[in-house]
C-alpha cells in the first residue's frame, strides 16, 4: 500500500523534474506501484541471481525492521548480514512486473531505500536498473560502498521507458568476491509515473484550397483543362478521388463530370491536373464544383469548393482602384468602408454588385459583409462606393473589395485586399517593444521573401504564412528560441500569385506583415 507521505514525496520530486506549467497540465498517471505489503515476491515480480543464493525477501523474513524513510509496514530486503552467507552473491536482482508507458513522453521512477554496506569494504555494488525489453538493462542509479544511504530517491527514466510498452525496473545487489559485504539493502514504495501524454495521431484532413481553372471568364468555344489545389495536413501522401462537376447556371443541367481516382495528394499543397477538357458555350454562365474524397478524411467542411464563371463574348471588368477607409495601418473606432471602382474595358456592365468583406486576421472569421447594387456601370466610369458602417472590436483585420456581375461571378482584376488594425482611443503601444517582425526584401516578390524577427526573451515562437482566406500555407518556425534577432527566407516559388500574411506568435504577442506574390 502506498503511504501518504511517500505520495507527497513523489509529487514533489516530479515537480522538480518538470516545469510547474507542465505538472499542472500533465496530471501524472501511476504506471507501477509496489509497497511490498503482501506475499513476496509480489505478483508479477521475480528474483534472480547469476551466482550464489537469492537474498531478496520481505524484511520480516529476517526479523529486520523497515529502515526506509517511510518506516511503516513491510519492505523488500536483501539482507547479507542476516544470511551470514560467506559465498559470493552475484547480480541478485529483484525485478518488477512490466509496465506500459507507450502513451507518455515523461516517465519517472521513485523509491525508498536504506543501503547499509559494511564499513571499509569496496567489492560490492547496489544498483537500480531499467529495461524496455529490447535494449538490455541500463543502470540509472548506483550506491557506492562504504557509506549508508537512507532516502527517497528518484530518477527520470524517460530515455529508457517513454513511449515503450514492455518496461521493467530491477534492484540489484552484487558482490565481487565472497564474504559478508553489507548489512542490508532495503527497498520500499516503488512508484513509476507517466506524464505529458503523447498527442493523439492527427486526423487526415484533405481540402480543396483553390480553384485554378476555370478562370472568372473563359473564352467561348475554346477548350480548357479544369485544375485545382488540394491541401493535405499530414506528413504522408494520401491517395484520394478528386471530382469536377460543371453545371449551366440558368438550367442547372450538368454539362461536365470527371473524376481522378487514386490521385496522390502530397503533404502541404498539390496542384491537381489531368481532368478532361471542357469547352464552354458562348454567353453561358457555369458553376464548377471540385470535391476531394478519402475514406479516412472525417472533416468534410473543406472537401468541396465552387466557382462561377462565364463564357460571354463581351468581357466585363470593374476593379477597385483606391481604398479610402479604413485608414491603414491603424483605424480608430467605427468607420464606413469606402473604395473607388473603375470600369476598365470600355463596356457597359448591367446590374453589377460592388462588394466589401472584412475578416479577423487571426482566424479569418468573417465579421462584416455588405454589397451595393448598381443599375448600370458605364464604360470607363469611376464610382465611389460607401458601404454600411463597420463596428469592430480592437484587433487586426483583412478587408476585401471586389465586384461581381449579374451571375455573382467576380469581375475584378485584381480584387483589393488589405490589412488594418482597429484601435480605440489613443494609439496602443505594442505588447513588447523588443519583439518585432520585418520584411527585409520587397513585399512584392516573385519567388521568395526575406524576413527578420526579434524576440525579447527566450520563448516559444511560431512563424507561419497564411493566404488571404486565412488558410495556413507554410510553417517557417515552430520552436523555442533564445532572445535575439533571426533572419529567415520564405521560398514561395510553388504558391500562386496573390496576397499572403506572415504571422509571428510569441507569448503575449502576435504580429502580422502583408506580402504579395506577383508574376
Question: Does residue 233 form part of some domain?
Answer: yes
d(CA 207, CA 242): 10
What distance in Å separates the CA atoms of residue 112 and residue 368, rounded to the nearest whole number? Answer: 64
Q: Do 30 and 136 belong together in one domain?
A: yes
Residues 132 and 275 in one domain: no
H-type helices in 314-427, by residue range? none
Q: How many domains does the chain have?
A: 4
**Domain interval for residue 225:** 206-310
- Are 412 and 371 spatial neighbours (Cβ–Cβ below 8 Å)? no
SS3 state at 512: strand
Same domain? For 232 and 278 the reply is yes
Q: Which residue has the cell 523555442?
A: 480
Same domain, 474 and 490: yes
- What local confidence, expressed as pLDDT, does residue 156 receive? 94
Alpha-carbon distance of 113 to 130, in angstroms, equals 17
The pair phi, psi for residue 479, each rounded to 5°, is -165, 165
Establish if 235 belongs to a structural domain.
yes
Both 76 and 220 in one domain: the answer is no
Which residues make Cβ contacts (< 8 Å) with residue 151, sequence separation at least 6?
69, 112, 113
Q: Which of 396, 423, 450 represents a domain boundary (last residue)? A: 423
Q: Is residue 442 part of a domain?
A: yes
Cα distances (Å, whole numbers) of residue 268 to 6, 204, 207, 444: 50, 12, 11, 23
- Where is the domain boundary, 423, 453, 472? 423
CATH number of the domain residue 501 falls in: 2.60.40.1930
Identify the helix (H) or strand (E) that includes residue 26: helix 20-26
Cα separation, 392 vs 358, in Å, equals 10
Full DSSP string of 55-122 = -EEEGGGGT----SSS-SS--EEE-HHHHT--S--BSEEEEPPPB--TTEEEEEEEEEEEEEEPTT--
509-517 vs 444-445, strand pairing mode: parallel
The angle at the Cα of 125, spanning 122 to 128, to the nearest 5 degrees, equals 155
Instruction: List, as one string, the DSSP characters of 290-319.
Output: EEEE-TT---GGGSEEEEEEE--SS---EE
Tens digit of each residue's pLDDT, the chain (519 residues): 333 333 333 333 333 344 333 433 456 899 999 999 999 999 999 999 999 899 999 999 999 999 999 778 999 999 988 887 678 899 999 999 999 999 898 999 999 999 999 888 878 889 999 999 887 999 999 998 878 999 999 999 999 999 999 999 999 999 888 787 889 999 999 999 998 877 777 889 999 999 999 998 898 899 999 999 999 989 899 999 999 999 998 788 999 999 999 999 999 899 999 999 999 998 888 999 999 999 999 888 899 999 988 887 767 899 999 999 998 888 888 889 999 999 999 999 999 999 999 998 887 888 999 999 998 999 999 999 999 888 888 889 999 999 988 888 888 888 899 999 998 633 333 445 568 888 877 777 777 888 888 888 878 888 888 877 667 888 899 888 888 888 888 888 888 888 888 888 887 777 888 888 876
Distance from chain centroid for Cα 322: 39
pLDDT of residue 23: 37
Cα distance from N-terminal residue to C-terminal residue, the chain: 72
Which pLDDT value is given to residue 461? 86
Phi, psi of 301 (to 5 degrees): -60, -30
Q: Tell me the three cell numbers of residue 393.
A: 472590436
Kindly state whether residues 27 and 119 are assigned to the same domain.
yes
CATH code of residue 230:
2.60.40.10
Name the nearest CA neighbour of 190 among 41, 82, 85. 41
Can you count the helices (H) and strands (E) in the chain?
4, 36
CATH label of the domain that carries residue 50: 2.60.120.200
The answer on 447 and 417 residing in a single domain is no
Query: How far, in Å, CA of 135 to CA of 389, rounded?
Result: 69
Final residue belonging to a domain, choices 285, 310, 335? 310
Q: Tell me, what's the pLDDT at 303?
A: 94
Q: Are residues 193 and 104 part of one domain?
A: yes
Looking at the structure, do residues 419 and 443 belong to the same domain, yes or no?
no
> In terms of domains, do 347 and 475 share one?
no
Whole-prediction pTM: 0.43
Is residue 192 located within the same domain as residue 214? no
Amino acid at each position: 500500500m502506498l503511504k501518504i507521505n511517500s505520495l507527497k514525496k513523489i509529487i514533489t520530486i516530479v515537480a522538480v523534474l518538470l516545469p510547474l506549467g507542465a505538472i499542472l497540465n500533465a496530471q501524472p498517471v501511476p504506471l507501477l506501484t509496489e509497497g511490498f505489503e503482501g506475499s513476496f515476491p509480489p505478483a508479477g515480480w521475480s528474483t534472480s541471481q547469476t551466482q550464489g543464493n537469492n537474498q531478496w525477501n520481505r524484511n520480516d523474513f529476517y526479523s529486520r525492521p523497515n529502515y526506509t524513510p517511510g518506516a511503516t509496514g513491510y519492505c523488500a530486503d536483501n539482507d547479507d548480514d542476516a544470511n551470514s552467507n560467506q559465498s559470493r552473491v552475484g547480480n541478485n536482482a529483484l525485478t518488477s512486473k512490466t509496465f506500459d508507458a507507450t502513451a507518455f513522453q515523461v516517465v519517472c521512477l521513485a523509491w525508498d531505500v536504506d543501503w547499509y554496506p559494511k564499513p571499509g569494504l569496496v567489492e560490492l555494488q547496489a544498483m537500480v536498473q531499467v529495461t524496455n525489453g529490447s535494449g538490455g538493462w541500463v543502470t540509472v542509479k548506483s550506491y557506492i560502498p562504504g557509506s549508508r544511504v537512507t532516502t527517497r530517491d528518484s530518477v527520470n527514466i524517460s530515455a529508457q521507458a517513454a513511449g515503450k510498452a514492455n518496461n521493467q525496473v530491477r534492484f540489484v545487489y552484487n558482490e565481487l568476491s565472497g564474504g559478508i559485504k553489507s548489512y542490508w539493502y532495503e527497498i520500499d514504495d516503488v512508484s513509476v509515473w507517466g506524464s505529458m501524454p503523447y498527442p493523439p495521431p492527427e486526423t487526415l484532413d484533405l481540402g480543396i484550397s483553390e480553384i485554378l481553372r476555370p478562370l472568372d471568364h473563359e473564352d467561348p468555344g475554346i477548350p480548357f483543362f479544369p485544375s485545382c489545389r488540394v491541401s493535405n495536413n499530414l506528413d504522408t501522401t494520401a491517395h484520394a478521388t478528386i471530382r469536377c462537376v460543371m453545371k449551366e447556371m440558368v438550367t442547372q443541367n450538368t454539362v461536365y463530370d470527371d473524376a481522378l481516382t487514386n490521385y496522390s495528394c502530397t503533404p502541404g499543397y498539390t496542384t491537381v491536373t489531368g481532368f478532361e477538357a471542357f469547352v464552354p458555350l458562348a454567353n453561358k454562365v457555369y458553376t464548377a464544383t471540385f470535391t476531394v474524397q478519402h475514406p479516412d478524411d472525417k472533416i468534410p467542411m473543406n472537401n468541396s469548393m465552387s466557382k462561377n464563371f462565364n463564357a460571354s463574348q463581351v468581357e466585363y471588368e470593374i476593379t477597385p482602384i483606391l481604398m479610402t477607409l479604413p485608414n491603414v495601418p491603424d483605424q480608430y473606432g467605427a468607420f464606413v468602408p469606402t473604395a473607388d471602382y473603375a470600369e476598365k474595358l470600355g463596356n457597359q456592365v448591367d446590374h453589377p454588385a460592388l462588394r466589401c468583406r472584412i475578416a479577423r486576421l487571426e482566424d479569418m472569421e468573417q465579421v462584416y459583409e455588405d454589397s451595393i447594387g448598381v443599375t448600370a456601370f458605364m464604360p470607363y466610369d469611376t464610382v465611389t462606393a460607401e458601404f454600411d458602417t463597420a463596428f469592430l472590436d480592437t484587433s487586426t483585420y483583412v478587408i476585401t473589395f471586389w465586384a461581381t456581375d449579374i451571375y455573382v461571378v467576380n469581375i475584378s482584376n485584381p480584387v483589393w485586399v488589405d490589412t488594418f488594425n482597429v484601435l480605440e482611443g489613443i494609439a496602443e503601444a505594442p505588447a513588447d517593444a523588443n519583439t518585432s517582425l520585418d520584411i527585409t526584401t520587397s513585399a512584392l516578390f516573385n519567388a521568395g521573401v526575406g524576413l527578420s524577427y526579434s524576440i525579447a526573451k527566450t520563448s516559444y515562437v511560431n512563424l507561419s504564412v497564411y493566404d488571404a482566406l486565412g488558410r495556413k500555407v507554410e510553417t517557417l518556425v515552430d520552436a523555442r528560441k533564445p532572445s535575439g534577432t533571426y533572419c529567415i527566407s520564405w521560398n514561395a516559388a510553388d504558391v500562386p500569385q496573390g496576397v499572403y500574411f506572415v504571422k509571428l506568435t510569441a507569448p503575449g504577442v502576435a504580429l502580422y506583415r502583408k506580402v504579395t506574390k506577383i508574376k
